[in-house]
Structure 1
Amino acid sequence: MDFWAAVAVLLRRWYVTFPAFLLTIAGAYLVYIGIPPQYESSAVLMLTVPTTGSTQSTRPGKPEMLINPLLNFDGGLNMTASLLVRVLATARTAEELGVRPDGDTGYLVNNGHPNPELLVNTPFLMIEGVSTDPASAQEIVRKVVGRAKVELVTRQRLLNAPPATYITISEVISPTPAVIQNRGRLRPAATASLLGLCAGLMAGFAAESVSAGLRRRRAPRTEDRPPERQPDLPVCERTSPRRRE
C-alpha cells in the first residue's frame, strides 16, 4: 500500500481516525498539565590560587613575587575541582543539604563536563539546582555554593597546607533566579502524542480491514451457487429398420 492509498483509507474511515486524533490531543494536554513544572537555577564557581602563588617562603625576609590569579592555572586546580565535584555529588552530602531521594528538589555538580571521570582540565564548578518551587531551586544552589567553600577550606586544613597558599573560590556567576524549564513536560506529552497517533492509524486500518471482511462475507461465492439446470431436450424415438421382404 502506497502513501496515497493509505491517506485514502484514513479519509474514508474519518469517523474512526478523527475521534482518535481528538483523543490524542486531549491526552497529550492532560499529560502536559499533569506534570508539575520544573524550575532551574545555576551558579558557576572558579578556583584560584593566591597572589603569592602556591608556595610559601621559609625565609620571611625574602621578597615574594606577586602573581595574577587569573594567569596562574595549573593541574592542581583541575584536580581540586574534580575532588569537590565528587564530594558534593555524594548522597551523604545531598542529605545533609536537605535533599531527599523522593523529594522535588535536587542539584547537579560538574566541572564543565557531565562525566567527572574524564578529569576535564578546567578549574570551574558548574552547579544546577532544580525544583518544582522557584525559591527552593535557588536556595539549594546557594547551599551547594556554601558547602563547596567549606569543603575546600576543610580539605586544605586537613592536609596542613599553609594558610597563605589556600585555594579560594570566587563566584563567577552567583545563584541565578530560577526559570521555568518545560523539558520535563514536553517529552512525556510528545510521547503520548506519538502513541496516540499510532493508535489512531491502527484503528483506521483495522476499521478498513473489518469493513472489507464484511463485504466479502455478504458477497455470494461462485462455488456456493447451485449449478444451472440445462433445458430438457426432446427425446427422439428410435425407429427400427425395416425388415427386408
Structure 2
Amino acid sequence: MTEPTSSTRHASGPADGMPALDIRAVSHAFGTRKALDDVSLTVPAGSFTALLGPNGAGKTTLFSLVTRLYDNRSGAIHVLGADVRRRPAEALSRLGVVFQARTLDLELSVLDNLLYHATLHGIGFGAGRRRAMELLAQDGLAERARDKVRNLSGGQMRRVEIVRALMHRPRLLLLDEPTVGLDIASRAAVVALVRALVADEGIGVLWATHIIEEIGPGDRVVVLHRGQIRASGSYEEMRARAGGEDLSTAFLQLVSDTGEAAA
C-alpha cells in the first residue's frame, strides 16, 4: 500500500463516532424565494442515507451549501466535526461529491481527469497515478484509463466521477441525482458501486434522488419537500407511517398537502 500524502491522511482522520454530516437549522433564500427552511439532518458514518424529494425540493441547494458553492448564513454544517464556514479547507478535504451535471473533461483521458483532481488535493503524480489505477481496477475500468472520456458510456462516465470523488480518501460522499439519464442496467451498477463503498469501507453517503426504487431496506431516508424536512427515519419506519405499505405510499402521504407527487 502506498504511503498517503498529508492531504489524504488529513481527509481520513476525524475522531471515531462523529456523524459524517451534521446539518442544523440551515435556511437559504434566493431573493424573496426561500429554497431551504430550517433544515436539519444527520448522515451517520458508514450509512447510506437517501435524501428523497421531487425536483425543485431543495436538494441541489443543500448540496451547494455543504460544498461551499453557496455560503450558509444561518445554522451550521459540519463534515466529520469540521464546520464548513469556519474550517472550510478541513471540511472539504473530508468529502467527495458527484454533482448532477457532468463535470469530466471530455477531451482528456480518464486517467488525466483523475490526476488533475489528485493535484488539486495536493497528491503527487506518482501517488495519484497509483491511487487512480487502484480505484479503476476495483471498478472494472482499468482498461479504459487511457481512453478519452467522450468515448465512454453514460454509466461509465458516472462511475469515473465516483472514482474521482474517492481519490483523496474522503469519509463522506455526496451524490446529487447520480443516476439521472442512465438506463436501468447502468443505474443499477452505480447504485451497487456506492452501496459497496458503504459496506466495505464505511463511507457515509448522502444520496439525493427522486427515484424511490433506489432506496431499500436498511437505508436511512430523509424526505425534503418545498425546502423543508417532512420526515426522517429508517426505510422500515417510513413504510410504517403508511401502515406497512410501500415507500411510495408513505412519500405521497408526506407531500399530499400540496397535491404534488414525485417527479
Query: Normalising by the residue count of structure 1, what TM-score does the alignment of the two structures yield?
Result: 0.25
Q: Tell me which of the two structures has the higher relative contact order, counting C-alpha pairs closer than 8 angstroms and 6 or more residues apart.
A: 1
Q: Which has the higher strand share?
A: 2
Query: Normalising by the residue count of structure 2, what TM-score does the alignment of the two structures yield?
Result: 0.23
Q: Which has the higher helix share?
A: 1
